[in-house]
Structure 1
Amino acid sequence: MTASSEATDVELAARGPANMLARLLDDRWSCRAFDGRQVPREAIERLVATAQRSASWCNTQPWQVIVTSGAATERFREALAAHVAAHPDATTFDFDPPAEYRGVYRERRRESGWQLYEAVGVERGDREASARQALQNFRFFGAPHVAIITTDALQGTYGAVDAGLYVGTFLLVAHSLGIATIPQAALAGRSDFIREHFGIPDDRKILVGISFGYADLDHPANSYRTSRASVSETVTWFDE
């Protein structure tokens, strides 16, 4: 293959699937205010059927998904919010959360948090207002649907990695269908409650929850977008 034909292949890819994927990645964002409209069942079925094509080690596909709609979402929302109100410090993760955020990771986390607070009018140092905003996690930001992603406990870290790949695919497929999403570690932090609420067996580990629906684009919580590190910050090249 000549250099000129290689360049042509790259140009063709840029106008096709690669360009569409780049647009999805550029456009996707975490929604923190939903308008409450239910997503039609056929759209959700298309979402999960397409996400099922996600890659996994040895094609084990260790993820399983619980999806709520309608009255089931409302029962879950009210029960979880009441549980958090009654037990504010009773966090339980099936997977250890980050021990600490240091350096650039701390800076990125803080930047994202202050973008949200500034958007919704939470002033620095206003702990009461920031706590109220944090509690919106447990009301799913008004989303009409929640997906709880679990993985096979015996597959350990690599099963969690595979399920994480599924989460990424789920988010992109949803965005391609016009469905807004937000993956929520806050929900994973209430794994004991969620396990009991849905009857999840002990051989499954709860990885994350994803609230989804249609975005309220007029809400200030949806008015900002987070940044991404440059390739030079994340990639080391070895050519020789």
Structure 2
Amino acid sequence: MTRPMKEKLRNYFKAMPPIFTCATALNPYVNVAGVEFLIEKITNNLDLEKEDVHFSTNAKADFNRYLSNMFDVYLSRYESKVDAAISNDDKKDTMVSFYNMLRKNNIKIARGELERYITTNFISNVSRQDFENFDILAWWKDNEFRFPTLATMARDLLTVQASTVALESAFSFSGRTISLRRTRLDPTLVEMCICLKDHLDATDRIQHTSNLEGEMSMETDIQGEEDEELDYDEEPNNSSDDEM
């Protein structure tokens, strides 16, 4: 059983979109060095270098190239937005001029921000508990001024779901929200219940352990009683079909 599973993992890892590795690198505790370590580790575990001895080296080179190219694209957009904001500003007082000068200097600093981000050690004084409970979006919000272009990348990349598990769980949970005792909820209330449940789980950090697939015991008992009633109702129809 493990052989076909391992073969599927090999095929998946070979064709994995680079957006996943770039998004992982935007975790400051992982960074580029961490992604390169994971690439090498997965390559060894899946024995990918038996087919291509340079697989790990090429994969790491591709990852760095994709990340650098993506950063350049975002940097060009960031520059154009700042230039447009400055050109559309009709005020000429001293404070506005000073503000525009700072924004221009911020662009010059941003050109080297990818290198500064890669070479900075963010995890040297981080405990294991802080590492496990790390709030990456809050970190980027706090460090947006230090890494403006990378922060924009983080907002776009980290909001993309890596899998459909969360969506499937949301649909499953919505199906149980509209239960046998709550069949008249309108769509707005259903959405509020689902979002409230997710918010409470996120506050307690139990989203990964919250049971979204099992049914409530009361609903199971009621469903069992209804199934018995349905079987009872179908008996006369079955008998009439046999007579015909």
What is the TM-score when the length of structure 1 is the normalising length? 0.22
Larger Rg: 2
More strand by share: 1
More helix by share: 2
What is the TM-score when the length of structure 2 is the normalising length? 0.22
